[in-house]
Chains A and B, each alone.
Chain A
Amino acid sequence: MTDSPRGNGRSLRESDPLLADRIVGTPEQQAAARPAVAAGWDEPADIEKAPATIPDLSEVEVPPALKAEIEAHMAKYPNVRSAALPSLEAAQRVHGWCSPEALRQVAAVMRVTPAYLSMLATFYDMLNTEPVGRHYVYVCTSVSCHLRNAQALAEAMKAAKQEGDDVNVREFECLGACDMAPMANVDGRFIGPIDPSEAPEVLAALREGRTPLPGRGLGDEGFRLPWEGES
């Protein structure tokens, strides 16, 4: 990957406002459709911006702990680019989502372009390119769970989410927990089976910083499925 050549790096708007208007519309029209990390299908490029080349570390403030973690990941692999996913995961932990700034920080440390990272962040389901919430509740609604009424659980969870909850409640494809169906993956903890009526409790727990449905999570002390042991 290359840095931009000499003297490049000004935006069209800076140098030729009228032309910018002609090509991408006036600043007002632009503001109406401000692109996100993955500017949508309908979004023009933002001519206000300079091209997103590899940011120089001297221009980017990276939290030291994050920088250290990324560098540790880079050291683990024969090719540093393999560190991209773990590094994005780390950046998401720090920033709450893969924000443009988060990507810039990873890019500066890894010496890759931000686009290289948004290309990845938008491909993988667990990386969020929008601020959807620091906690997550993934309700599995794939075939096996679907057969055990997962849809109802999903609706219940969505309904239980309240204004201001910092939680990403979403349906998710098979989580590899069909034996626990219907189930949810709450911040990495697999909980199931869950009755839709328990949904409010799960979100309340997240809200109040408690462990949702203690003892009901895979890996919890003495966890068992209701029908295990009986025969």
Chain B
Amino acid sequence: MPKPEPKLITFEIDGREVQAPEGQMLVDAAKMGDVEIPYFCYEAKLGQPVGACRMCLVEVEGIPKLQTSCSTPVKDGMVVNTKSDRVKQAQNAIVEFLLVNHPLDCPVCDKGGECPLQDISYGWGPGRSRFIEPKRHFEKPVALSPLVAIDRERCILCYRCVRFSQELSEDYQLVFLERADHTFVGTHDGHPYVAPFSGNIIELCPVGALTSQAYRFRARPWDIEDAGSICTLCPSQCNVKYTTRDDNKVVRVLARDNEDVDDGWLCDKGRFGYQAIHVPERVTRPMVRDGGELRPVSWERALSEAAGALARAGDRTAALVGGEATNEDGFLTQHLLRGVLDSPHVDSRTSGVLDPQQQAVLAQPDLTAKVSDIEWAGTVLVLDTELVDESPILDLRVRKGVRRNGLNVIVATSRPSTLDTNARALLRFAPGAGEALLAALAAAVSGQGDLEDLSGRAGTSAEILRGAAELLQEPGPVVVLWGERLSQGERGRQAVARLIDLARQLNLSGTEGAGLLEVPRGTNARGLREVGCVPALGPGLDTATRAGKSAGEIAASVPGEVSALLLVGADPLTTHPDRGMWERALDRATSVIAFADFVTEGLDEHADVVFPAESEAEKDGTMTHPDGRIQRVRQAIARPGEVRPQWSVLAELCERLGNPTGLLSGAMVSERVFESVPFYEGITLAEIGGKGVRWQERDGAARLPRVELPVGELEIPPRATAEGLRLGTGPSIWSNRVVEHSPLLRFLLPEQVVELSPEDGERLGLRTGDQVSVSVDGTSVSGRAFLRSDMPPGNVFLIEGTRTDNATALLNGKPRSIELLRAEETSPA
């Protein structure tokens, strides 16, 4: 459904002529005339109004009954009165009714000072209660989950939290129970409300009924400050507000509504992960290996050891840049390698090789969709990615599009997706057969090529593909949300070629509101590529003078080829495929230098120098959203201990290696980045401001060379193996180090789960809950079996990034089949 153009109308409110977009609800339209109408249950973000609280009643000329302004769209010439005696009496009545069962414990309430009920009672209430019967009394806050507490005395049953659970995140775990004046908010059978987005209900609650277990009693509204930044934990890059105390402690994270990015929602990882900032195990001092152990040392010692090691290694240095690095850190890292050490080996991707031509094509402004295109598209193709795990906030955006605008969704994933229930078409293909699927889909769209054969190669059916192709050809722009996974396999290049070919057939670059939107692995994956953190590309996607090794090639390099390894927030043992090979590579390296906020297993064993890394709340810099929006990461609290800005450490290393950068401040580094990336040119931090700017929408975009979508013969994709069980893997939203280190989130840390179809389970004599071990040529990991009815037979799925039994151990960039899958002798009761 195309985005409608709002037309302005004029209406009268309290004697004032006011202009507002036609159809806007009166509560909102009133604000245009500085008229405030009190309300509780209305929240535009929650969709259709419910009209439950009755607080927003107003008089509309020509309608005998008072109307709820939350559900009354403004019309031209409408005459509204919000101050008449009738309205006043109604408002008094509602406030009095609300306070009938609301405790007056504001002085000890977390919401005190920022509470709509408090404010509205003063502003619109009768100022007295004639209710003398005993109020309801219940246990004061009880746990609703490990993250959220509920105080049912304070609840005014406004429907906001349950609507979020039911209609926004659609997890449908939080509901109203009982009826009439017994109604209360709860869950089934006392189960905790645990879901990826549960924390949003805390911000939605208009009273102090829902509170954060982490924030409760930590602070009162008047001794805190808010600092805007973005969440750096996943590519969604949600805009956040850090609530800080005494300039050195983050006590809460709130959403900072940006409809071009997050629509005002956060996932629980982003909302509660801040706790990991203030834990004792955090690295806050430089360390070097001394007598086989990492020991805290002075900056001077750490810097000189690092500089020494790099000097010795010279062009045999390689750098891995982690996805959470800023553009500035990434830029300086590749400068250190290419410019100072004369080494081309820098990569920010975990596997696969980027083809420069393809990258230039994918970066074309008119081929990239922006986040808000999703909800207004005609059809969205979710391709080889599980949004809730890999970019959670986009999952909410897709649901919004379906709910509000009748968006068609095609889910093309190997593993059953949480979006399946919202999908018009499901394309289940063999893990790793994305290339074949795209080829088949293109054939179905164009009617050329051997659809039967290609769909067979993809391990799916021509019939379903035809259905999907029809949806793709329905009117309305098409947005393809594709997972980076697609481009990472050994045939990543061919898969991307197929993706681009489909884009050409659907004319995505020629259609307003259509395009590709990558769901990368790393938060700042796009920015890091654009500032030159890929082997083949320098800053600005310029083909590098000397192509370096990709991450995989670095790991596979023969002894002596790579002697120093620089890990900038990267941890190959948890994030990169083929864990075994990486262990050998780290062993081989004569020196390993890392920037890290926590000492991981890999660092503990292999690192020679560890520089303390800033946490997301201590950083200054910029990141580039997958849709090209450049956003600011802003420091909210002082850096603890001896933590220094990462850019200054990198600059220091350049200097010690005889190549001073002349950079004196974070802002200067940003400027240097903007100068060095042609299509970023002219951008300033001020221009980026709080909401960010998409570089494609600036004149600078013209500096990216225009390239046409290639036409030409494409290879026939290989056939997905039919025999045995195919292995599929993917990360969990919770496989992240901040989950591991935040006391309240830790319980969500995933343990390995082996998902397979009931048929296969039957055959192998397995039942849900059995402890099983999965082996792929020699290497095996173990986990809990889960037989899911919606799993196509022949596939087995494991989780990437678990602390133990990480599925990455089984990967090597090729489609893999499982040799052995059996119950372990020691099955726990």
Contacts and interface: CB of A to CB of B under 8 A. Distances in A.
A and B touch in the complex (CB under 8 A): yes
A183 B195 CA distance: 48
Contacts of B421: 1-2, 111
A133 interface: no
A49 B143 CA distance: 13
A31 to B, nearest CB: 12
A41 B152 contact: yes
B123 interface: no
B751 interface: yes
Contacts of B735: 7
Given A100-B189, A118-B177, A8 B748 contact: yes
Interface in A7-27: 7-8, 10-12, 14-16, 19-20, 23-24
A12 B747 contact: yes
Interface of B: 136, 138-139, 142-146, 152, 169-179, 184, 186-196, 213, 386, 388-389, 416, 418-419, 421, 730-735, 743-744, 746-751, 753, 758, 761, 768, 786-789, 799, 802
7 contacts: A4-B171, A6-B386, A39-B187, A47-B192, A56-B787, A57-B789, A118-B189
A119 interface: yes
Given A23-B146, A58-B761, A122-B177, A6 B189 contact: no
B788 A58 contact: yes
Interface of A: 1-8, 10-12, 14-16, 19-20, 23-24, 34-39, 41-47, 49-53, 56-59, 100, 103, 111-119, 122-123
A72 to B, nearest CB: 20
B146 A19 contact: yes
A43 B761 CA distance: 38
A139 B263 CA distance: 52
Contacts of B171: 1-2, 4, 53, 113
A50 B189 CA distance: 11
A66 B41 CA distance: 39
**A1, A49, A115, A116 interface centre (most CB from chain B within 10 Å):** A115
B189 A4 contact: no
A5 to B, nearest CB: 5
Contacts of B136: 41
Contact of A113 (B173, B177, B192, B788): B173
B750 A7 contact: yes
A16 B746 contact: yes
Contacts of B138: 41-42
Given A6-B733, A58-B787, A115 B175 contact: yes
B787 A5 contact: no
Contact of B751 (A10, A103, A123): A10
A35 B189 contact: yes
B753 A56 contact: no
A6 B385 CA distance: 12
B747 A115 contact: no
A42 B140 CA distance: 8
A45 to B, nearest CB: 4
A45 B188 contact: no
A115 B750 contact: no
Contact of A5 (B139, B191, B213, B386): B386
A56 B799 CA distance: 19
Contacts of A59: 768, 787
B730 A10 contact: no
A19 B192 CA distance: 15
B192 A122 contact: no
Q: Which A-B residue pairs are the 9 nearest by beta carbons?
A: A7-B750, A35-B190, A7-B732, A39-B190, A119-B175, A44-B142, A15-B747, A52-B191, A51-B194
B457 to A, nearest CB: 27
